[in-house]
């Protein structure tokens, strides 16, 4: 498992009975987590001294209950700054476990010894975009949500990266890649974090089980002749790490690289466990 254990402004304090107790900067949140199917005593004081609690509804969805939590605040990861705010379906605008991948590809970019063009698909609020840009890459950031792209731009400004070569695009990721193929554009590295289910700007339906492999095939057509890495993240329980390995290995075999896929996770301070948070597949050149 790849563990995001370099955080100072974030930690999973404890987990029990379908919920996790987290510290985001100086604020304590309780949020549901489907992986936490064990039930241990909630003896850590934070469970009773929280700033926000997302209650899952039995009918689906849920709602926040707040206790002295600002509408927006910031946390830092190295030189990066993220603007957080609780919004619908329990999210805060950041997936801290992805720091394990940021560290990995940032080192790849810094030591490449050449300019690196990165394409970040389903780019959300820009965690991977900012990490790649800070490492020296030119980044194309694509997400179907205008609000998420605006949020990512705000994170770039807060991180002092507004002058870096980042293209911000609100677009359907599949259609964007298809147009890049026609335009003859190429990238040295591709990052994608596709949702299990989603809709594009014009109502295009995305189902990961049907669409992920065809998208990988399309993306191989916009890789440069000397690609650096290809990263896929998945939060879909049906896609085991081995599946990511098979898809990447099959489609990228002509480049003579290698694939490694693992669960990604976050350390739990109180118990010493590691909370699993999805899986990632990493292809890189030999």
Q: For 51-94, write each residue's pLDDT tens digit.
A: 999 998 877 789 999 999 999 999 999 999 999 999 878 999 99
Residue 171 pLDDT more than 80?
yes
pLDDT at 60: 77
Flag whether 218 is in a domain.
Answer: yes
Say whether both 107 and 227 belong to one domain: yes
Say whether both 181 and 248 belong to one domain: yes
Say whether both 67 and 100 belong to one domain: no
Range of the domain at 148: 96-285
* CATH code for the domain of 101: 3.40.50.150
Say whether both 35 and 160 belong to one domain: no
State the Cα–Cα distance between residues 159 and 237, nearest whole angstrom. 33
Say whether both 182 and 43 belong to one domain: no
More confident residue, 199 or 142: 142
pLDDT tens-digit map of 104-127: 999 999 999 999 999 999 999 999
- Asked if 33 and 65 touch (Cβ cutoff 8 Å), the reply is no
Phi and psi at residue 128, in whole multiples of 5°?
Answer: -70, -35
Q: What angle do CA 69, 274, 125 make, to 5 degrees?
A: 45
pTM, entire model: 0.94
* CATH code for the domain of 29: 2.60.40.1180
Say whether both 44 and 123 belong to one domain: no
Flag whether 205 is in a domain.
Answer: yes
Say whether both 104 and 39 belong to one domain: no
List the one residue out of 211, 256, 260 whose CA is nearest residue 231. Answer: 260
Flag whether 28 is in a domain.
Answer: yes
Domain termination site, one of 36, 71, 106: 71
Domain termination site, one of 20, 55, 71: 71
Say whether both 246 and 136 belong to one domain: yes
- Asked if 93 and 84 touch (Cβ cutoff 8 Å), the reply is yes
Flag whether 84 is in a domain.
Answer: no
pLDDT at 211: 83
Tokens matching residue 35? 């992986």
Say whether both 185 and 253 belong to one domain: yes
Tokens matching residue 219? 């993306």
Given the DSSP bridges, would you call strands 197-199 and 189-192 parallel, antiparallel or unpaired? unpaired
Flag whether 185 is in a domain.
Answer: yes
pLDDT tens-digit map of 206-256: 777 788 899 999 999 999 999 999 999 998 777 889 999 999 999 999 998
Flag whether 88 is in a domain.
Answer: no
- Asked if 14 and 4 touch (Cβ cutoff 8 Å), the reply is no
Q: What is the count of structural domains for the chain?
A: 2
Tokens matching residue 45? 């004081």
Measured CA distances, 198 to 3, 207, 241 (Å): 27, 7, 21
Say whether both 168 and 29 belong to one domain: no
pLDDT at 201: 63
pLDDT at 199: 72
């Amino acid at each position: 498992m790849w563990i995001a254990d370099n955080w100072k402004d974030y930690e999973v304090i404890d987990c029990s009975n379908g919920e996790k107790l987290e510290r985001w900067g100086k604020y304590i949140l309780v949020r549901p987590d489907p992986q936490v199917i064990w039930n241990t005593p909630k003896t850590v004081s934070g469970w009773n001294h929280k700033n926000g609690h997302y209650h899952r509804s039995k009918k689906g969805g849920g709602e926040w209950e707040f206790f002295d939590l600002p509408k927006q605040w910031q946390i830092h990861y190295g030189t990066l700054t993220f603007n957080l705010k609780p919004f619908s379906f329990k999210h805060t605008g950041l997936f801290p476990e992805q720091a394990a991948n940021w560290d990995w590809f940032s080192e790849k970019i810094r030591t490449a010894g050449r300019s690196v063009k990165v394409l970040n698909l389903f780019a959300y609020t820009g965690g991977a975009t900012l990490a790649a840009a800070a490492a020296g890459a030119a980044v194309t950031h694509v997400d179907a949500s205008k609000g998420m792209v605006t949020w990512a731009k705000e994170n770039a400004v807060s991180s002092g990266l507004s002058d870096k070569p980042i293209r911000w695009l609100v677009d359907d990721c599949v259609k964007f890649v298809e147009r890049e193929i026609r335009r003859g554009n190429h990238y040295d590295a591709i990052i994608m974090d596709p949702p299990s289910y989603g809709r594009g700007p014009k109502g295009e339906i995305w189902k990961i089980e049907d669409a992920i492999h065809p998208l990988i095939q399309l993306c191989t057509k916009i890789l440069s002749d000397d690609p650096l890495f290809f990263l896929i993240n998945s939060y879909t329980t049906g896609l085991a790490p081995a599946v990511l390995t098979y898809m990447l290995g099959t489609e990228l075999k002509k480049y003579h690289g290698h694939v490694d896929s693992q669960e990604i996770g976050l350390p739990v301070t109180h118990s010493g466990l590691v909370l699993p948070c999805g899986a990632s597949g990493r292809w890189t050149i030999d």
